[in-house]
């Protein structure tokens, strides 16, 4: 079995698009939630807030960019940064079949969905065009990367809602671990649109607050739902020996991964199977619970989700491991969440400081008696960290990273 290194990272997030910007935002302890003016145009919408990528995306060659929707542009921007960070941008190995893609999103881009809706309402094929299906197909982000960067190896497209990005990293890791690829471009992307907010709003899962600074509030007794967000995160995964031989910078090593299904309810989470997933990830990494130094929680801010996750985490780890969730800063980036949160957790680990939970003034006992990081954050030099994500459909993921000693 091969070891798998993380040699490049690219994060396009509501907190910013560079490591320094993101870390500065985390240290300032302010979130990226803002009013989403377009939501005021929709009747009966309770939520009026979201978290958007406000930094301009890099200019892309017109010929290559003309077929990309917002989700594709986010994915390409994150991947450009990750490839540059890895030193592989101009390496011919990128175009060989030993380099592949594992990338996810909840679906495609909004323009295609709008075409489909108009076709259904008006029953008129002129509402559709040559790119309508291409824009909405679940593997839009993965294929956009393949075409833009000229990637010829295997392509794994994950579309498992909030675990899309983390499953992609996990499957990319397993592909290299089993000797089926040398490099995998792994991650997830999601674009913000009123439809996504509306879907969660109809489930009474969004925050209906009026002060952006106070939403969301994961694990707090007064939490009232998620803040929908957008972004993209890309990790370059690489055969560890290949990375060492070319003198690559190694951010982290993927040490373990697990995914499972609740197989019980489409939206209500199963705490039992969340617990099982974390234990399977530990088994995959040949670690014990006490070996984990930090957990980045899924922590969406919903009543049922946070309680199920928190209690499951407590049953595995007790109060021995510091826990925080990045969604309290940048909202729920859905298909991008697993990749952004894993990447930023690695960033924090390498700097020896883990961000506190925002808005957590009164921890809900139903979420477990966990060591929630609060106030000014926590100075930690972790060896092993865990990043968890849980999705509609009862899909659970848990990733474990080993952080190289920075001293």
Q: Which SS3 state, helix, strand or coil, does residue 352 take? A: coil
Cβ neighbors of 247 (< 8 A, separation 6 or more) are none
CA distance 39 to 9: 32
* Catalytic status, residue 152: no
Q: Please report, in angstroms and rounded to a whole number, the separation of the first and last CA atoms in the chain.
A: 28
DSSP state of 268: S
Which among 162, 251, 273, 277 is annotated as catalytic? 162
Q: Which SS3 state, helix, strand or coil, does residue 48 take? A: coil
Nearest alpha-carbon partner for 206 in 230, 224, 229: 224
51 close to 33: Cβ distance less than 8 angstroms: yes
DSSP state of 56: P
β-pair type (33-35, 49-51): antiparallel
CA distance 19 to 348: 9
Which among 139, 251, 273, 298 is annotated as catalytic? 298
* Catalytic status, residue 332: yes
Sheet holding 4-12, edge to edge: 155-158, 99-104, 183-190, 231-239, 4-12, 252-261, 395-402, 384-391, 294-296, 322-324, 371-372
* Catalytic status, residue 298: yes
Reading the block at residue 293, the tokens are 């130094």
251 close to 350: Cβ distance less than 8 angstroms: yes
CA distance 153 to 338: 23
The catalytic site residues sit at: 162, 298, 332
């Amino acid at each position: 079995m091969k070891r798998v290194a993380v040699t490049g990272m690219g994060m396009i997030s509501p907190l910013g698009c560079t490591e320094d910007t993101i870390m500065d935002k985390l240290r300032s302890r302010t979130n990226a939630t803002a009013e989403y003016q377009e939501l005021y145009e929709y009747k009966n919408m309770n939520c009026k807030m979201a978290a958007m990528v406000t930094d301009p995306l890099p200019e892309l060659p017109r010929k290559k960019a003309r077929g990309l929707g917002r989700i594709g542009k986010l994915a390409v921007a994150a991947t450009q940064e990750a490839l540059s960070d890895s030193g592989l941008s101009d390496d011919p190995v990128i175009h060989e079949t030993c380099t592949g893609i594992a990338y996810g999103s909840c679906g495609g881009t909004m323009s295609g969905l709008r075409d489909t809706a108009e076709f259904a309402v008006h029953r008129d094929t002129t509402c559709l065009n040559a790119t309508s299906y291409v824009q909405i197909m679940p593997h839009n982000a993965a294929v956009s990367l393949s075409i833009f960067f000229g990637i010829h190896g295997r392509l794994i497209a994950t579309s498992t809602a909030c675990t899309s990005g983390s499953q992609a990293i996990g499957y990319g890791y397993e592909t290299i671990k089993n000797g089926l690829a040398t490099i995998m471009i792994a991650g997830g992307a999601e674009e913000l649109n009123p439809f996504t907010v509306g879907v969660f709003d109809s489930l009474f899962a969004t925050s209906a607050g009026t002060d952006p600074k106070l939403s969301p509030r994961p694990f707090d007794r007064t939490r009232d739902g998620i803040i929908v967000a957008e972004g993209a995160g890309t990790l370059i995964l690489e055969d560890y020996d290949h990375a060492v031989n070319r003198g690559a910078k190694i951010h982290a090593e993927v040490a373990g991964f697990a995914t499972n299904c609740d197989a019980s309810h489409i939206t209500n989470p199963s705490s039992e199977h969340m617990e099982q997933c974390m234990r399977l990830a530990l088994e995959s990494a040949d670690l014990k619970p006490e070996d984990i130094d930090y957990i980045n929680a899924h922590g969406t801010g919903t009543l049922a989700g946070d309680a199920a996750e928190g209690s499951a985490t407590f049953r595995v780890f007790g109060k021995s491991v510091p826990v925080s969730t990045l969604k309290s800063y940048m909202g729920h980036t859905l298909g991008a969440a697993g990749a952004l949160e894993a990447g930023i957790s690695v960033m924090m680990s390498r700097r020896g400081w883990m961000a506190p939970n925002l808005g957590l003034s009164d921890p809900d006992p139903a979420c477990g008696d966990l060591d929630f990081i609060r106030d000014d954050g926590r100075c930690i030099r972790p060896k092993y960290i865990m990043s968890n994500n849980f999705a509609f459909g009862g899909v659970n993921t848990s990733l474990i990273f080993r952080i190289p000693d920075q001293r």
